[in-house]
Structure 1
Amino acid sequence: MTVLQAEALRGLAGGAVHLPGDPLYDEARMPWNLQVDEHPAAVAYPADPQEVARIVRAAAESGLRVAPQGTGHGAPPLAGRLGDAVLLRTSAMTGLRVDVASRTARAEAGVLWGDVVTRAGRVGLAGQHMSSPGVGVVGSSLGGGVSWYSRQHGLQCSGITAVELVLADGTFVRATDDQDPELLWAARGGSGGFGVVTALEFDLLPVRTAYAGMLAWDWQHAQRVLTAWAEWTADAPESVTSVARIFQVPDDVDLPEQVRGRGMVMVDAVALGDPEAGARSLAPLRALGPELDTFAEVPAADIAHLQLDPQEPTAVYANSVLVHGFPADAVEALVAAAGPGSGSQLLFVELRQLGGALARPSRRGGALDHLPAEFLVLGVGLDVGTGWSAVRADAMRMLDSLAPWASRASYLSMAYEAAARRGFAAEAYERLVRIRQSADPNSLFVAPRPTDND
């Protein structure tokens, strides 16, 4: 029946609509995260908001739902929920404007962070980009957005000043603090589900350069290095944001030769302001004698490539936990679960330093306005032939090892299996539900992750 329903979409979006059985359907339906093998009723590639509106109206008239998607990095929570939906891929909407005077950017729904980094960097500005330049601006911003500048400037979503979207009835809205402020509030970290976001406007930062780089040791030193790093973070200035990792580095020619094919423990960091002050702040970590030290003053645009995240479409499993503190016994538990001798096949376990501005509610407000924890611990694995159940088991064993320090809250953008409620304070979640029901009373849009009503 859904195939007949989807036939009504043919000819829309300049013909860029693909149905099951069409030659390009299998290619069109694939997200960045290839772990997900979803078969939607149709896949559509609109070029502008007008085409989005026509697709939304046609889907509603045909009894289908709509699931917007940019890059598909966060596709796993949609798994098994798109059989009666039009997967609306926004990758063709690539308009980007940088306003130097107001230090803002307007990015359409297909713009990647790498695009923003390059364009803003030419004029001495920086966006609060994610760790990979291939991540979409809209999807990551709607979900919160933890960046290399977050300890000083907060979540990326708090910098959103306007959101443009197509609602369930096909009408176009530009929401600001003065017009449709509830929709703007929901866009600040609410993950979507209230319309098809076609563009965002957001603040840029006056950052030309930063003191940034990587320190790396053999992972046999994981206990010593992570214990020292956790102690160091307690007094680190807000101008410094760091990430520690246990990394089973692939033997890939695109990676640094010194770490290729090895188990490593690494600390990446970005320090804003005076480079000499940044170097002084990192001195305690340098005293641990890393094998590799790449720190230098670099253009802000280079920071998007600091971490060794895969950029090509990849099948990955990821899950995370927010933790309150990371004492020595937590380090010991983590290393036992994911370090040398653990048998873990996770590609990496990442510990993101939070706190600073991330711990304080944003003055602008939003569905997600801060993160109530000191660290975010993320486990990422690839299927190396043992199957996804084994990868998930390794990730869950690592997360369970941190249960004594775990928060009840979750950062949904990095928690594939967490319930939607855990991503928000109770009052914020109820408000978000009301906004979605008001904007989409017939549940046309597929929620970003399962809810009580799914």
Structure 2
Amino acid sequence: MASEPSRPDPTGAEVLRGLCGGAVHLPGDPAFEEVRWPWNLQVDARPAAVAYPAFASEVADVVRAAASVGLRVAPMGTGHGAPPFEGRLGDAVLLRTSAMTESTIDTETRSARVGAGVRWGDIVDRAGRSGLAARHTTSPSVGVVGSSLGGGLSWYSRHAGLQCSAITAVEAVLADGSFVRATESTDSELLWAARGGGGGFGVVTALEFDLMPIRQVYAGMLAWDWTDALRVLTAWGEWAEDAPETATSVARLFRAPDDPWLPAEVRGRNLVIIDTVVVGDPDEAEPALAPLRALKPEVDTFDHVPASSAARLHLDPEEPTGVYANSVIIDAFSPEAVTALVDAAGPGSGSELLFVEIRQLGGALSRPAPDGGVMDRMEGGFLVLTVGVDSGSGWPAVRADAGRVLGSLAPWALKSTYLLMADGEVDERQAWPVASWQRLTDLRTRLDPHGLFVPPHCST
């Protein structure tokens, strides 16, 4: 058992010098001001040190050295979900796993193995060349490991459930510096925690997970001027209630910036957009979208396309940027809820949020996964996500705008939360059933008795 760390030494980070082949940066070093920033540039992270290990053995060296001088350790991949770490890293080593980029696709077992620095875009492209698909996020620049540990909503969620339930093995360095590989037959409790527990029990260095034999999907975007928001979103909410489980859909109120990376028909406009991916029989896919196409969109990009193309369907920015995101889960997107949301975020609302999206849940997400872990399903019918950028008013104004919009849906909101889309203060206990949270907490305490690792969120 690891001994209790001493109190943090302000100069203790010097013990890390020379580790990771020299890829360790301390405050005052020439590169520190650059490497301390995550993908989400909203977060002004100021850790005691930043380390870039390339191998599990280097992770173990950093963990042991940090513990020896009373510093904590905060694992981070891309840093898309960095906001909950802000203000909590002063006594911690920010352990960036972006150099751990090993990955393999096994076409016979339909599985993937990825290091902690691999991004979804790389895996989606490689798997697609073999006629396989992953339960990937809507952004190709998001890290595989972080999003998988936290649950993993995807374009296939209603058809295949959460990405975390596809995990078959996890490799991690624990608080005492030891290395463990967890599978169903070995350290199954750790595998259970990795399936949706969000981390906090060690530094995950690699994951293995199942892929799906999906070569082609029916996918695309429908768009209208946002003055049609009430009509379109009301119809979409009704369609979503009875949509086939082969379809996963996202509706958005999008104040598109005038940026060159966006398609010309979207750039600089205020729109209501519906993105959808349908898997299965091509002859059944097109009829499933007929009710939405009957709303006569200005833009219609739907087609039968390679499954890998869905990685960039959502038009998420791939380069580092500053954003604030928060969300609420609602039980239904009724006409009354649609009206409340459009009044709060649509034309004439005064909202300056970049977009507000409504993600369709249900289907396989609503049922316990056969291989489920701490997060084996999701409650509710829809997840509403607000995303804002600082356009000059400051981040407090962005947070207030998001709070006002999400607050408009309070009558339909559930108490549960999805931590991967919660940048604001949130009690992580709301992410899981009480019994699962307690079991996860007990495991974290057993594996990290002295709180070496900074958990992604706090229990308040």
TM (normalized to structure 2)?
Answer: 0.97
Deviation at 1:3, TM superposition (A): 4.2
Q: Name 2:227's counterpart in structure 1.
A: 220
Partners of 2:352 and 2:252 lie apart in 1 by: 14
Per-residue Cα deviation, 1:19-43 (whole angstroms, up to 9, x for no partner): 0000011111100000000110000
Which of 427, 436, 440 matches 1:432?
A: 440
Partners of 1:171 and 1:351 lie apart in 2 by: 42
1:388-399 to structure 2, matched below 5 A, reads 388-399=395-406
Q: Name 1:299's counterpart in structure 2.
A: 306
Matched, 1:290 2:297: yes
Q: Name 2:261's counterpart in structure 1.
A: 254
Deviation at 1:364, TM superposition (A): 1.3
Amino acid at match of 2:136: H
Amino acid at match of 1:21: G
Partners of 1:86 and 1:297 lie apart in 2 by: 46
Q: Name 2:63's counterpart in structure 1.
A: 56
- Are the counterparts in 2 of residues 113 and 137 from structure 1 also a CA contact under 8 Å? yes
Q: Name 2:91's counterpart in structure 1.
A: 84
- Are the counterparts in 2 of residues 141 and 157 from structure 1 also a CA contact under 8 Å? yes
Q: Name 1:448's counterpart in structure 2.
A: 456
Matched, 1:148 2:155: yes
Divergent runs of 4+, >3 A:
none
Give the share of equivalent positions with the same residue, in percent: 65
Partners of 1:153 and 1:445 lie apart in 2 by: 32
Partners of 2:378 and 2:290 lie apart in 1 by: 28
Deviation at 1:440, TM superposition (A): 0.5
Which of 410, 431, 446 matches 1:403?
A: 410
Per-residue Cα deviation, 1:360-413 (whole angstroms, up to 9, x for no partner): 111112111111110000000000000111111111111010000000000110
Q: Name 2:347's counterpart in structure 1.
A: 340
1:35-74 to structure 2, matched below 5 A, reads 35-74=42-81
Which of 324, 335, 339 matches 2:331?
A: 324
Partners of 2:49 and 2:233 lie apart in 1 by: 47
- Are the counterparts in 2 of residues 66 and 86 from structure 1 also a CA contact under 8 Å? yes
Per-residue Cα deviation, 1:295-335 (whole angstroms, up to 9, x for no partner): 00111111100011111111101000000001101000000
Matched, 1:163 2:170: yes
Amino acid at match of 1:225: V
Partners of 1:315 and 1:166 lie apart in 2 by: 30
1:88-99 to structure 2, matched below 5 A, reads 88-99=95-106
Matched, 1:102 2:109: yes
Amino acid at match of 1:101: E
SS in 1 for 2:11: helix
SS in 1 for 2:383: strand
- Are the counterparts in 2 of residues 49 and 198 from structure 1 also a CA contact under 8 Å? yes
Partners of 1:416 and 1:426 lie apart in 2 by: 22
Partners of 2:406 and 2:180 lie apart in 1 by: 41
SS in 2 for 1:433: helix
SS in 2 for 1:234: helix
- Are the counterparts in 2 of residues 3 and 20 from structure 1 also a CA contact under 8 Å? no
SS in 2 for 1:397: helix
Partners of 2:128 and 2:94 lie apart in 1 by: 33
Q: Name 1:239's counterpart in structure 2.
A: 246
Deviation at 1:276, TM superposition (A): 2.7
Amino acid at match of 1:380: V
Number of aligned pairs? Answer: 452
Q: Name 2:208's counterpart in structure 1.
A: 201
Q: Name 2:4's counterpart in structure 1.
A: none
Partners of 1:259 and 1:430 lie apart in 2 by: 46
Amino acid at match of 2:454: V
Partners of 2:49 and 2:457 lie apart in 1 by: 20
Partners of 1:295 and 1:265 lie apart in 2 by: 16
- Are the counterparts in 2 of residues 3 and 19 from structure 1 also a CA contact under 8 Å? no
Which of 131, 149, 173 matches 1:124?
A: 131
Q: Name 2:282's counterpart in structure 1.
A: 275
Amino acid at match of 2:401: D
Q: Name 1:358's counterpart in structure 2.
A: 365
Per-residue Cα deviation, 1:83-136 (whole angstroms, up to 9, x for no partner): 000000000000001111110100000000011011111111011110000000
SS in 2 for 1:120: helix
Partners of 1:336 and 1:447 lie apart in 2 by: 37
Per-residue Cα deviation, 1:202-245 (whole angstroms, up to 9, x for no partner): 00010101000000000000000000000001111000000000
Deviation at 1:256, TM superposition (A): 1.5
- Are the counterparts in 2 of residues 53 and 170 from structure 1 also a CA contact under 8 Å? yes
Deviation at 1:157, TM superposition (A): 0.1
Partners of 2:59 and 2:70 lie apart in 1 by: 17
Q: Structure 2: which 5+ runs fail to align?
A: 1-7
Matched, 1:11 2:14: no
Amino acid at match of 2:204: V
SS in 2 for 1:451: coil
Partners of 1:253 and 1:61 lie apart in 2 by: 49
SS in 1 for 2:205: strand
Partners of 2:260 and 2:80 lie apart in 1 by: 24
Partners of 1:45 and 1:253 lie apart in 2 by: 33
- Are the counterparts in 2 of residues 2 and 41 from structure 1 also a CA contact under 8 Å? no
Amino acid at match of 1:36: V
Per-residue Cα deviation, 1:49-81 (whole angstroms, up to 9, x for no partner): 000001100000011000000000000011110
1:407-422 to structure 2, matched below 5 A, reads 407-417=414-424, 418-422=426-430
1:15-34 to structure 2, matched below 5 A, reads 15-34=22-41
Amino acid at match of 1:214: M
Partners of 2:92 and 2:195 lie apart in 1 by: 25
Partners of 1:343 and 1:393 lie apart in 2 by: 12
TM (normalized to structure 1)?
Answer: 0.99
Partners of 1:254 and 1:378 lie apart in 2 by: 22
Which stretch has the larger CA shift, 250-259 or 298-307?
Answer: 250-259
1:366-377 to structure 2, matched below 5 A, reads 366-377=373-384
Deviation at 1:448, TM superposition (A): 0.9
Deviation at 1:275, TM superposition (A): 2.3
Question: RMSD of aligned C-alpha atoms?
Answer: 0.8
Q: Structure 1: which 5+ runs fail to align?
A: none
